[in-house]
Amino acid sequence: MSQATALGHVTICDLSGQLAGAGATRYLAAFGARVIRVEDPVRQGRWDILRGSMPHVDERRGIELGGAFNNHNVEKLGVTINLRLEAGRDLLRRLVAVSDVVTENFASGVMEKLGFSYGELRSIKSDVIYVSNSGFGHAGPYSRFKTFGPVVQAVCGLTFGVGAAGAPPAGWGFSYMDHMGADLMALAVLSALVHRNRTGEGQWVDMSCTEAGLGLTGPDLLDYTVNGRPLRRPGMPDSNHSDHPVMVPHGIYPTEEPDRWVAIACRDDQDWAAFAEACDQHWAREARFAATAGRADHEAQLDRLVSGWTSSLRREVVASRLERAGVPVSAVTMSEDRIEHDPDNDDWGLFPTVEHPEIGGVRVDGIPAHLSETDWSIKRGAPLLGQHNREVFAGLLGMSDEELSALQADGVL
Amino acid sequence: MTGPLQGVRVVELASFWGAWAGRLLADLGADVLVVEPPGGHSTRSFGPFAGDDPHPDRSLWWWYYNTSKRSVVLDLDDPLDADHFRRLVGGAGVVLEAERPGRLAALHLDHPDLRAEQPELVWTSVTTHGRASPRSSGPWTDLTMAAASGLAWLNGYDDHSLPPMRGRGNQTLQITGTHAALATLVALLHRDATGSGQHVDVSAFAACNVTTESGTFAWLVAGETVQRQTGRHASVNPTMDVQVRAADGRYVTTGFLPQDAKDFQALLDWLDELDLRATCPEVVFLQIGVERGGIDVVKERDDPEVIAIFGAARAALVHIAENVAALTFFEGAQHRDLQCGIIFSPDEAYENSHFSARGFQSTIRHDELGRDVRYPGAPFKMSASPWAIRRRPPLVGEHTGEALALGFEAAARSDEQPPPTQGR
């Protein structure tokens, strides 16, 4: 690589998949880590349900054409190893021996069954960093329970915190904890690398995605442990309002067009005065609304009045008027708005185009940090199944053509 | 044992958007000095408050985002304090700040000013839209960021007369802070390898934009826009409801619907155990599902019998859930290898036996209040260099004296305190 990379010296033997695992190693690969994604040739990598699944760029279908899989596996190398065979497990041992990090997000117990517990990994490479990300972790009464994003979010308390007052949970309309699980898993890898580089010591990081999620529920949790005030109480979760800090009005309001919305947050009385000026409605000047406490007392009524005003305008108009007045505001953007028509996302280069051997050129998620000396680079799409078998097994492990042919013939690759 | 970032010294300018990043680094063992303006940072006025007493040292918002840090009060507009700030940075490896672009430059305290003398310094700037964007000077909140970045569009109800929903818990600043911590560690690893520091520019808007799963890739790949639905993924085409109100009024989620013969058999056995088979609709199709040896609902989607079996499995899960308590349903399903969930409130999850058995409850002494406080625990368990809340969140300016007298050296002395207890 021509450009300096921050993680070019790091090799990762990556058994992870989906988004909760693949998202972690994707981040590290973008900063130059050599991520070797190991897939199962027998099931054609379909343990990862995203391999081949939607969305697709055109009518073509097949295990190489899954759009989400491509997004989550950019800049990685792809190899196949059949771990049902002793020869396959031997090959994985050779790969572990040259890796700094082993990552996986199987259900707990799977690695032990395959013969790759932390103890065994450590006997192969004494300072190995092993990071496992499972739904409930490798110990505890629920450790064998199985999860995917929506179940993680439900159990950890995050789903409960999304919804209208007194209504059933609306929940997250996507696998939020696959993203945050992946990001925190990457944080675990990086922290463990810092520790190893300073002490020479590897370790096992047992990440439980539900536990990580419970740690993201915010100050509400301390309101319970300190004040004995649980979030399951009348009038909750009411998540479009803001009780901490108190902001009124604070919500997502309808506009002139159906199902187009605008978010408004008046942080204090100054914001409210600016709002009143900008919207120029008689009710906005009523004395009972002048102070936060008064607005909070009449929150439902005020929401109706604000909705009445916003409903007469397009969301862009509401947003630009309040923005000029210095009030926090934003249209609720849809995918196209922010991906195609946002100057900041353009300037950032947030959606780089990668080349994928079968899909062709397609845009993917970028990284939300720019580093002045060792920035990320995302150019290469996800690997085809076994695409880099030769590069890794011959180039990195030094195997001969004969050995590779034999492994191929024996169904190991 | 010490954390993985033991020995990393961080000067953090107290902020809304950067606080979570500082906390992540501090709980992982970094010595984080959080610099607050006189009177304390404005987020100390955010509730809830311990005992509902709105005192700057009792803000639970502050507590949540500032564990393990030390607090130094400095007025950066005062030249003397600005010198103190320079001196603290001189002893640090990392600066973390989320000031509006231009403020630090006007004070000659920005990264080009300080990194010139200290090329090994890692300087992480968190802004709403990147250091170069004019929008980073505007007012942004968690709500407006969720709306602007695509997060809010994805959450809500099947009924689209109800608005899209923000999630509780300040998720946009936690997404941003997690990315700020990640990028800071990437820069630290590079510094450890080469001796060179750098500037790290983190955008909250960018971070939230790439934390939207199919909200982004469905558009990038196929030009499609997903639509919000109650309790499940937003989707281009509507999908089946998965959320069920259990017999005790709490909600569960049916998760991935089963397709294997063994799962259909498990459902039949479970219905029998609960004496619910007779009242379960379409149960005959579960039996057919067993006899067929399972189904593949994607490959066989044109076979009406397969669709009937798939529907019967869902009906059986709903029927069971409606007749038992939510926790009974969740544990019963999972013990039968069915990937269902319970919608716990955060406090219920916190008190649940699984989480407590793993030691997630971290008890920290608050001497100033004469009591222990239970905090959430580690995001991941490290065997050799464990995460820990190393000290309770600091009082306003609690460490100003020691930090100005000794710089970071005071940390060594403070670390001799007995470690806080983990678990119960």
User: Is residue B309 pLDDT above 70, yes or no?
Assistant: yes
Question: Contact A231/B346, CB-based, under 8 Å?
Answer: yes
Residue B73 has phi, psi (to 5 degrees) of -95, 125
Stretch 273-312 of chain A: residues touching chain B, C-beta under 8 Å: none
pLDDT (0 to 100) of residue B301: 86
For residue A4, being part of any structural domain is answered with no
What pLDDT score was predicted for residue B415? Answer: 47
Give the confidence band of B420 by pLDDT, cuts at 50, 70, 90: very low
Give the whole-angstrom CA distance, residue A44 versus residue B58. Answer: 56
B139: left (phi over 0), alpha (psi -120 to 50) or beta: beta
How far is residue B7 from each of residues A152, A199, B317, B415, measured CA to CA in Å?
Answer: 34, 12, 52, 11
Q: Which of A297, A331, A365 is the last residue of a domain?
A: A331
* Identity at B193, one-letter amino acid code: A
Query: What is the reported pLDDT for B412?
Result: 55
Mutate to test the interface with B, among A64, A195, A354 (most CBs of B within 10 A): A195
ipTM of the complex: 0.98
**Based on the structure, what is the number of domains in chain A?**
2
| Per CATH, domain B9-211+356-414 is 3.40.50.10540 | yes
Q: Does A80 touch chain B (CB under 8 A)?
A: no
A292 and A388 together in one domain: no
Is A115 inside a domain boundary? yes
Summarize pLDDT for A151-193 with one digit per residue, the tens: 999 999 999 999 999 999 999 999 999 999 999 999 999 999 9
Asked if residue A5 is part of any domain, the answer here is no
Residue B12 has pLDDT above 90, yes or no: yes
Bridge partner list, B96: B12, B124
In a domain, A186, yes or no: yes
What are the E-state strand segments in A136-293?
203-208, 250-254, 261-265
CATH of the domain at A269: 3.30.1540.10
Instruction: Answer whether B281 touches A (CB < 8 Å).
Output: no
**Pick from A304, A331, A358: which residue ends a domain?**
A331
Establish if A319 belongs to a structural domain.
yes
Tell me: do A384 and A327 sit in the same domain: no
Which of A118, A203, A330, A334 to probe by mutation at the B interface, max B CB count within 10 Å? A330
Residue A268 and residue A194 share a domain? no
Low-confidence ranges of chain A (pLDDT < 70): 1-3
C-alpha to C-alpha distance for B151 and B158, rounded to whole angstroms = 17
Question: Within a 13 Å sphere around the CA of A388, how many CA atoms are in the beta-carbon half?
Answer: 20
Q: How far does CA A254 lie from the centroid of its chain?
A: 29
Q: What angle do CA B184, B181, B1 make, to 5 degrees?
A: 100
Mutate: best of B160, B171, B182, partner A, most A CBs <10 A: B182
Give the pLDDT confidence of B166-194 residue by residue, as tens digits.
999 999 999 999 999 999 999 999 999 99
A-to-B residue pairs, Cβ atoms closer than 8 angstroms? 517
Return d(Cα A281, Cα A276) in angstroms, integer: 7
- Position B421 scores a pLDDT of 42
What residue numbers bound the domain in which A191 lies?
A: 11-215+346-409
Instruction: Say which of A7, A202, A244 has its CB closest to residue B48.
Output: A244
Average pLDDT over residues B6-33: 98
Q: Determine the pLDDT at residue B229.
A: 98
CA dist., res. B393 & res. B398, Å (int): 10
> What residues of chain B, 361 to 400, have a C-beta less than 8 Å from chain A?
373-385
| Partner-chain contact A160 B346, CB within 8 Å | yes
In whole angstroms, what is the distance from residue B369 CA to residue B63 CA?
13
pLDDT score at A120: 98
Q: Does the structure show a pLDDT above 50 at B424? A: no
Report the 10 Å Cβ neighbour count for B138: 17
pLDDT recorded at residue B379 = 97
**Cβ within 8 Å, pair B203-A348:** yes
Q: Taking CB atoms and an 8 Å limit, are A368 and B209 in contact across chains?
A: yes
- Bridging pattern class, strands A360-363 and B371-375: unpaired
What residues does B71 pair with on adjacent strands? B34
Task: Give the span between the Cα atoms of B49 and B45, in whole angstroms.
Answer: 9
A66 & A174 share domain: yes
Same-domain status, A141 and A197 = yes
| Cα separation, A392 vs A394, whole angstroms | 6
Question: What residues in A contact B245, CB-CB < 8 Å?
Answer: 168
Please, what is the average pLDDT of chain B? 95
What the block records as the tokens of A307 is 């909705």
Residue B90: count other Cβ atoms within 10 Å of its Cβ: 14
Residue A361 host element (H or E): strand A360-363
Taking CA–CA distances from A219, the nearest residue in chain B reads: B61
List CB contacts of B88: < 8 A, sequence separation 6 or more. B11, B33, B35, B72, B403, B407, B408
pLDDT at res. B407: 83
Question: Which A residues in the span 329-348 are in contact with B, Cβ-Cβ below 8 Å?
Answer: 329-336, 338-339, 344-345, 347-348
User: Which of A17, A10, A51 minimizes the C-alpha distance to A133?
Assistant: A17
Helix (H) or strand (E) holding B71: strand B70-73
Q: How far apart are CA B343 and CA B250, in angstroms?
A: 7
Q: A387 with A294, same domain? A: no
Please state whether beta strands A34-39 and A11-14 pair in parallel, antiparallel, or not at all (unpaired).
parallel
Give the end of a domain, one of A272, A299, A331: A331
Contacts of B103 by beta carbon, 8 Å cutoff, 6+ apart: none
Residues of A in contact with B192 (CB under 8 A): 194, 197-198
Angle at B292 between CA B290 and CA B298, to 5 degrees: 105
The verdict on B10 touching A (C-beta cutoff 8 Å) is: no
Q: CB–CB of A197 and B216 under 8 A?
A: no
- Is residue B387 within 8 A of residue B25, CB to CB? The reply is no
Are A195 and B210 a contacting pair at CB < 8 A? no
- Which pairing describes strands B371-375 and B362-366: parallel, antiparallel, or unpaired? antiparallel
Q: Is residue A226 in some structural domain?
A: no
Of B182, B202, B385, the CB nearest to A203: B385
Which pLDDT does position B410 carry in this prediction? 62
Does one domain contain both A376 and A294?
no
CB A336, CB B209: distance < 8 Å: no
- What does the alpha-carbon distance between residue B262 and residue B35 come to, in Å, rounded to a whole number? 59
Residue B313: which of B292, B327, B331 has the closest Cα? B292
Residues 6+ apart with CB under 8 A from B106: none
Asked if A320 and A381 sit in the same domain, the reply is no
Judgement on whether residues A310 and A372 belong to the same structural domain of the protein: no
Residues A154 and A198 in one domain: yes
Looking at the structure, tell me whether residues A67 and A199 fall in a common domain. yes
Looking at the fold, whether A323 and A372 belong to one and the same domain comes out as no
Q: Which residues of B are less than 8 Å from A54 in CB distance?
A: 222
- Assigned domain for A245 exists: no
> Quick one: residue B29, left, alpha or beta (phi over 0 = left, psi -120 to 50 = alpha)?
left
pLDDT 10s digits, A257-287: 999 999 999 999 999 999 999 999 999 999 9
What distance in Å separates the CA atoms of residue A184 and residue A131, rounded to the nearest whole number?
11
Cα A255 from Cα A257, distance rounded (Å): 6
Residue entry with tokens 């300080």: B114
Among B133, B202, B242, beta carbon nearest to A369: B202
DSSP state of A247: B
| A182 belongs to a structural domain | yes
Check B215 against A174: CB less than 8 A apart. yes
Sheet containing B341-342: order of strands: B243-245, B251-253, B341-342
CB within 8 Å of chain A, chain B residues 133-172: 133, 135, 138-150, 152-157, 160, 162-171
**Any B CB within 8 A of A400 CB:** no
**Torsion sign over Cα B33, B36, B40, B42:** negative
**Cα→Cα distances B312→A320, B121, B257, B283, B287, Å:** 51, 62, 10, 6, 10
Q: What CATH number did the domain enclosing A384 receive? A: 3.40.50.10540
